[in-house]
Structures are given as C-alpha cells and as structure tokens.
Structure 1
C-alpha cells in the first residue's frame, strides 16, 4: 500500500481488518458469546449464521478464550472449501492438535493411538498414514476423530464444545454431513456442537428434528462503533470527531468494512492532529482502490442479468425500481430469477424496506464506477 507523506503513521494502528480481531478488540458481541457458552453448558446444538466478514471467527475466538477461563474446552475446525473425507479428517486432526489443552493431550494421544486409524495430534498424522498406505480408509478415520470428544469427556469429565466453522462446505462431501450430525446428537450432556455458516439464508437443521439454537450475527450498532472507534483514536492522540459520522455512515455497521475505513483514516491523520474532510476523502478513496480487484472479480463472475440486479440494488435499493429496470434494460423476469442467486451468493439481502448490497464498499464502488443516477 502506497501512502503519501501526510499519511505516515505515528504509532501502531489499532484497527485490524484483514483477519480475526484480538479478543479484547471485539465490539458488542458479549451477549452472543454469553449465549453460546450458556447453550453449550445446557447441551444444545447451535448454529451461528452471518455473511462473510461479519466476525463469526472473531466471536468464536472470544468464546474459546472466555471458555478456557471457565473450564470449557473449545476445539475449532475451519472447514472452508473442504474437498473430501480425507481432507475433512486432516482438518479435524489439525484442530485437535492446535486446541487440545496440555493437560488433556496425553489422554487424546492414547485414545487415538488405541483406535489404530492413523490419526494423531503429535508426530505423524493421517497425511503420513495415507502416504504410507494409499488404501487407508478416511471414513474409518473420520469416525474415530468424531468419537474422540465423547470419549475424552467421559474419561476426563470435561465439558467440550466442537466448533465447525464454514460448515456449509461439508455439504459437498458424501456421507460427511450425516455422520457429523449423528455424532453431534450423542452425549450432549458432555459435548456440544456449534455449526458456523456463511450462508445466513440457509441454516442447517438437525436431521432428527431435534431443536437447534440459531444465532444470527447482525451489523454492529452505530452507538457502540462510535464509542469504540473514538476511544482508540483518542488513545492515539488523534481527533476524528469531525469525520467520524461520515465514516460510520459509509461503513453501514458492517464489521470488517468499518474497521478497514477506520484503519485507513488512522493512517491519514498524524498524532496530535485533527481529522479533516480531506483526510476522510483520502481514506475513502484508498478503501475503494483496495476493494476494486475483488469488486471486479465479483462482477465478472456474474451473468449479465445478475450484474444488472446488483447495480440496481446498489443504486436504487431494489431490483424492481421502474427507473432501474428502464435505465439498465433489466426485464422484470430476469430480475426475479437473478435476485435469489445474489442472495445465495451473499451479495445482497432483503430488509424491511427494500434491498441492500451486504458489502457497503462494493455498493459504493459500483455507484462510483457505473452510476446511472445524478
């Protein structure tokens, strides 16, 4: 990233936007963290649903951190793009290797060794097993690692929470989803499951019909964002009172995009200085440059009709506005067919009044580059 001389930083930037944020920087998610921990101890099955970049992983880290202090073992597996049963085994094996507390590692090692399925959290794991024995059965290995939390809980008396992040990816792996649900229903008195999904329009349901607690992450409240962002700027001896409302308006409560804008504004304002409109415009311009490659890729990946609907929502707040249909040459039937696809892709969402693009910077980029309204 190239910055002008006036944009040089005076101290560490406190706004992280390119990954999960530190636990102590999570804004306004304590109620959600408390709910997950309470449901875990009650033996509930849980679903956490939110669009991409809404802070699901950051919330999970918060639950894990607070759970450790309260005697809760939390094992989190990232299943994004999982491709096969063998890949799933490797993801779960890696999760146990990373998150098993030291006091429990000897027991976990013994349980896995006794199963003789080639799964391990120390030394050679299932990848080596497959290399040495091409005929190794990933389904048997998966059963072993799915039975692990129950056996561990029974031996050690520990309460365990298994978090399966990006669980929707499992749908493409034959047998995996049904097997996971089967194990999730066993011994809920000691082991709970949290299924985290990036498709808020499709929430997984238990095949058995057992109730599942669903938690949908929304956008962050303006009041809490205002207070948190202002506090960090003040701590860095920077005054952003004059432009903070503009930043919050542009971010629309979107967690990651708001942090990106705050990060870029911090870089524009010297320590001891007061943010001006020029600082804010420079930060916003840089934000649009940063999102441009992703925005272009998003647009290129859509059909002509889908692009028109996305533009209509970005500019007019609905794909069915008469002016949008006329200006963009968008037939109503095309709009009706394309809209569900954009919802499923996590690009747009319906509100009480109209529609909006989930990513406010994508919407602004579209209006800036393809605007049809004065």
Structure 2
C-alpha cells in the first residue's frame, strides 16, 4: 500500500487555508489597515509572520486591497533598499494596476521599473547613481496609484529591524508614510520589539498611534485538535503520545509541525504511535537542527552562550546553581540577557524564562547538560 504523504507543513509558509488559530490576528490587522494605522507585527522567526501576511493579502484581494510585501532582511544600503522595493512592486502589483504603475515610475525618470531590470541596470551603467530619487519615486508610488485608481494599499516592510542599519532609510520612509494614511497603510514586521523606536520617539508619530501585535505560541487545544485529526485521517492513532508531542513543541508553530511530521514518518499507517516512535522523531529533529544550533551558539559571546544555557537548563539566567556551575558572573548575566531577548532567542514570560525555540533548548540540554 502506498504511504500517504505527511499532512504537516513545516518548511515554509503555510497555505492560507491551513493556518491554525490566527483568525483574530488577521481581523485586527485588516481593521487597522482600513483605519490607516501604522502597524507593527512582532514575532520570533518561524512563528508564522509570512503565512499571516499571505492570508491578509489573499483576503484583501477580494475587497480590492493591494498588498505589497517587501523583504528587507539584511538590507545593506539605500541602493539595496531601492532594489528590494522595486522587486516587491514587480512581484505583487496586480495586473490591472501594472500599466498605471509603470507610467508613474517612468514619469519620475528615476531609473526604476516594475517590468524590467530597472534600477539594477541603472546602477550597472552608472555605479555612482544616487539612489534617493529612485527611493522617493517608489515610496510615493502607492499614494499616486490611489489618486488615479482609488482603493487602499498595504505596504508590508518585513524584517524591518534591518532598516535601522541603513543611514537615512527610516527618515525617508516616514517622510512619505505620514502623509499617505488616507490611502496607504504600513505594516512593519520583524523580530525586535524595539525596531520602531525611531518612529515612536517622533512627536509626529506618538506611540499611541502605533498598533502593535505580537504573535504568541499556538494554543495547545488548537494544536491537539488539528494534529489528532490529521493523524486520524491518515489511519494513525496518536492519542497515546499527543501530550508528549505537544510538550516537546511547547506551542512553537514551526517546531510543533516539524515534530508532528517526523512522528508521522515513524508511525506506519494502521498503527498506534508509541513512546519509542516519539523519541525517534525527537532524535531526528535534534539531528536536523544541529547545524543551525551550532551556528547560533557560535554567533554569541561567551557570556551570552552561558546565559542561553542557563535558561535552557535552569529556567532562569540568575539561578545561583547556574551561575556557579557555568562560571557565569551575575553582572555578565544581567548584561547578556537583554541582548538574547532582543535577538528573539529567550523570553521572560508570566511563567518564567525560557528559550523561544524548544528544540534549541533541548539540543543544549542534550549536548551540554550540567544537571542530573
């Protein structure tokens, strides 16, 4: 009998019709978009920001909302920012608006285009080309489209924390974003809660006007129902290990789906999942995350690595036993912890400290554990 493919998506954005428990977030951002709010979406990586944005875009198309998503990860310069914006408009502009958008950009005579090489070609011909006129043209494009065609545009600036490293970029973005609120909304998406500090410190953009949304972990009840139903539909009984699976995933969207996928591969059709199946799935998961975990640890200072280990093993960076066992001075822990929070590696919740990625935490305990 041919094995049924795993029904668990874990290696990319989730199809819009298979999202789990994000209805309220979609509705909130949609409402704020209609109000012209400046919005901030904050979540660790792999929490589903991209999937959520795609869901909003899919539903927005039905009511005439244009959604332009710009990937700003590691944007390096104003010229790079121009290329990211140009690429996003080329990819996401609806067919009916492409002729109008092309005419607007051509009239600006800034070397940008959504139909050809555009600014990359201009830079190739003249490496000293000033990117600011092109940036102004692209940032003004949604407002000019609204003047000619009506409707509302949502500009999503994903991985917005990268913009803070480009001198002058934020200032230029706000210069255009502020007057456009009647027809254009902005959603700034990223991993750092403080990525909007420059805007919220501005008197023209007080923090009260910023709508902030943080994506939480997925509720256990929702995950339990979805995972159990998918295993049942595939003629597999997972009831005996479902609690263990949910505990290992800790509500982390991608990690829970990865574990469910690996468990699916361990359990043959027509059989019941056992503890051995779950243990094997977790072992495979730790093997898969090993290169990433080592890269994460290598990118931290000695003090930061010790704090990460302390949280993974002892549940707090300030536990006396952790400080003593890991040779971690308390002052070092106090300085390192905020950096790990800002990097979305650890979090301080109502239930205490924890490593955001449960597989990274388990990997640390497995490879460097100091507790019995």
Q: Residues 40, 9 of structure 1: CA spacing in aligned structure 2 closer, same or farther, 3 A cutoff?
A: farther
Q: What does residue range 257-268 of structure 1 map to in structure 2 within 5 Å?
A: 257-268=255-266
The structural deviation recorded for 1:150 is 0.2
Partner SS for 2:154: strand
The structural deviation recorded for 1:202 is 4.6
CA contact (8 A) 1:79 1:167 kept: yes
TM-score by length of 2: 0.95
CA contact (8 A) 1:72 1:161 kept: yes
What is residue 205 of structure 2 aligned with on the other side? 209
- Does structure 1 residue 22 correspond to structure 2 residue 12? no
What is residue 133 of structure 1 aligned with on the other side? 126
Q: 1:165 aligns with which of 155, 158, 163?
A: 158
Partner SS for 1:209: coil
What is residue 302 of structure 2 aligned with on the other side? 304
Q: 1:300, 1:172 → 2: CA distance?
A: 22
What is residue 288 of structure 1 aligned with on the other side? 286
Q: What does residue range 135-284 of structure 1 map to in structure 2 within 5 Å?
A: 135-200=128-193, 202-204=195-197, 205-206=199-200, 207=202, 208-210=204-206, 211-284=209-282
Q: 1:316, 1:201 → 2: CA distance?
A: 27
CA contact (8 A) 2:68 2:154 kept: yes
Unaligned runs of 5+ in 1: 1-7
Partner SS for 1:120: coil
The structural deviation recorded for 1:149 is 0.2
CA contact (8 A) 2:160 2:195 kept: no
Unaligned runs of 5+ in 2: none
Q: 2:195, 2:110 → 1: CA distance?
A: 34
CA contact (8 A) 1:314 1:367 kept: yes
Q: 2:312, 2:195 → 1: CA distance?
A: 23
Q: CA RMSD in A?
A: 1.5
What is residue 92 of structure 2 aligned with on the other side? 99
The structural deviation recorded for 1:15 is 1.2
Number of residues of Structure 1 aligned to a counterpart in Structure 2: 367
TM-score by length of 1: 0.95
Q: 1:191, 1:341 → 2: CA distance?
A: 34
Q: 1:114, 1:173 → 2: CA distance?
A: 27
Q: 2:114, 2:157 → 1: CA distance?
A: 18
